[in-house]
Structure 1
Amino acid sequence: MAQPTPIRGLGPDSELGQAARRILAGRLADVRKPEAKLSDELDDDGVHDMRVATRRLRAAIQVFRPLGGLGKLEVEVKRLQDALGDVRDLHVQAAWLEEVAKKARREKPDTRAGIAALGKARLAGLKAKEKRLRSELERWASRTVPRMLRKVDALEDDHRFGGRRVKEPLHWRVRRVRKRMQVYMDAPDAASAHALRKDLKKLRYELEIFQPAFRRTLGALVEVLVPLQEGLGELHDADVRLEVFERLAAGGKPRERKAARALLPLIREGRAKRSAEIARELQRWHAEAIPRRLIQVLM
């Protein structure tokens, strides 16, 4: 995953308005870096990097929204994020099917044609989604970016960057993640895993934003979040894949049904493996008291 540009020169005594202007400008610059790559070809890496960057930008907008004037901009950024996500999701599915097809050539040649048909069906809507993404990229560059630059330059707030106004929402976010973890451990289904993943991601992005506001570094603890977040992302991909292929196995065309049924055991096996890895990671979080340590650092 691409890392955000470090924001230098901020500390706990910086003005919140100054911190907001600099951080939002940095997150906007991070979105614009992969944008240039996508002008000619919507390649997988460029789409992925820009999608992650828009998530971080949205997180920063949500954090600094109380300063005023950012609500509509968040809607605009989400439009771009959603268009990037639609293309990225098809890229991920196609890559997985391509990998499985290579294995099928050696082990199950009779299902190869069905897997190829599934891959073709998955990519059938890609052109339309790419067309929408190109339209959103044009809107982003011509309308959203100029508006965002004007709004960001006007942000003012003389509260301390490391004050209570910052710490209380972060404490709330850590407590929310801890509750989501407990819900998932009690019932580790797709819905509880997805909810935990979303809140963990938001926590990570918010901690990245406010890291300069704390004299004691958050860097090491932020990195602790990464394996669990990535594991939950892989579990989510497996859950989406499972839902899609169960539907195809029940109601697809004859060749697609056969291939989907052949692939379902592999998908379920992969999901079980991801689930076991997450269980071990959650045990580590409990053993190392990571939520409590986060709260202590944020005091």
Structure 2
Amino acid sequence: MQGLIDEVPRHVLRIQMRVYACRERLRVTTDDEALHDLRIALRQLRSLLRPLASVAVCDDLQQRAAELGRLTGPLRDLEVLQGYLQQQGLDGAAQSRQPLLQQGYLQLLDSAQLAQLLSALDDWPQQWRQVASSGQLRDLHKLIRQRLRKDRKRLAQALLDPAHDRHRLRLLVKRLRYAAEAYPPLVELSGRTRMQLKQAQSALGDWHDHWQWLLRAEVEADLQPCVPAWQAAMQGAEQQADLALQALTAGFARTSS
């Protein structure tokens, strides 16, 4: 038990250092992966803390990370779209979005959400030690296992829903997969199931990207030339996602029988 109590703050510290590094990379404005890496760090922090949501200091920090994640989501979507347009040789459409990206980076760096997360990360280790010394973490392994089992059950039930929502499934798949990365010994998932989660997430992510781009094309006229290719790509991604979800459903059925 003590090992896990000590490991969680070490993991938080490693993520905190990455968040600081990503902030500095964003200030340079020439690092195309800085925002992506920041969002990965936020995802890892939330995955680490979400199973500990009943511990107030963990829930507070997880909410700070979630707020920054919501702020950076649209900016990352724009960044991915702009990169796609460049790759396709649509220089005019790509260049017209560059000022919006730069403005978004500056707003992110000056945002209250980023400042509040960094401040919360500074205060969190002492808060964690206080909680640990009070005895509130005696059942830490049990607490995490219970939460992860709930995440798995929630996904398994959603997969069996004939009217399942791909948006919700994508979030549930991501949540379980990232929890498995945060707590490998405590997640009761086979290597095969973890691979199926990764494949489902990839297909659903591809579908989601094209779905979002098609929505943008309805109001951004310079994206209209891309619509036929995006429609075809989204249909292909839907098919891949359905196959991946079927495999995941079958995998869950085998392990629960």
**CA contact under 8 A between 2:64 and 2:117: conserved in structure 1?**
no
| Alignment match, 1:30 | 15
**CA contact under 8 A between 1:173 and 1:203: conserved in structure 2?**
yes
Give the distance between the partners of 1:38 and 1:133, measured in 2 at CA.
9
Give the distance between the partners of 2:149 and 2:20, measured in 1 at CA.
34
Deviates more, 1:115-124 or 1:201-210: 115-124
What stretches of structure 1 of length at least 5 have no aligned partner? 1-13, 102-114
| Alignment match, 1:127 | 102
For residues 12-62 of structure 1, the C-alpha deviation after alignment (integer angstroms, 9 at most, x for no partner) is: xx25xx525522431441352264254142423222122012112112222
How far residue 246 of structure 1 moved from its aligned partner, in angstroms, is 2.2
Give the distance between the partners of 1:171 and 1:98, measured in 2 at CA.
43
| Alignment match, 2:138 | 158
Structure number with greater CO (CA < 8 Å, separation at least 6) is 1
Residues 240, 21 of structure 1: CA spacing in aligned structure 2 closer, same or farther, 3 A cutoff? farther
How far residue 153 of structure 1 moved from its aligned partner, in angstroms, is 2.8
Give the distance between the partners of 2:104 and 2:238, measured in 1 at CA.
31
Give the distance between the partners of 2:230 and 2:45, measured in 1 at CA.
33
Q: How does 1:34-45 map to 2 (within 5 A)?
A: 35-39=20-24, 40-42=27-29, 43-45=31-33
Residues 142, 278 of structure 1: CA spacing in aligned structure 2 closer, same or farther, 3 A cutoff? closer
**CA contact under 8 A between 1:24 and 1:57: conserved in structure 2?**
no
Q: Say which of 164, 170, 178 aligns to 1:205.
A: 178
What stretches of structure 2 of length at least 5 have no aligned partner? none
How far residue 145 of structure 1 moved from its aligned partner, in angstroms, is 2.0
Residues 83, 32 of structure 1: CA spacing in aligned structure 2 closer, same or farther, 3 A cutoff? farther
TM-score of the aligned structures, taking structure 2 as reference length = 0.82
How far residue 278 of structure 1 moved from its aligned partner, in angstroms, is 1.2
Please say if 1:54 is aligned against 2:42: yes
How far residue 200 of structure 1 moved from its aligned partner, in angstroms, is 0.8
Give the distance between the partners of 2:241 and 2:131, measured in 1 at CA.
40
TM-score of the aligned structures, taking structure 1 as reference length = 0.72
| Alignment match, 1:279 | 242
**CA contact under 8 A between 2:72 and 2:108: conserved in structure 1?**
yes
Give the distance between the partners of 2:46 and 2:77, measured in 1 at CA.
19
How far residue 130 of structure 1 moved from its aligned partner, in angstroms, is 0.6
Q: RMSD of aligned C-alpha atoms?
A: 2.8
| Alignment match, 1:108 | none
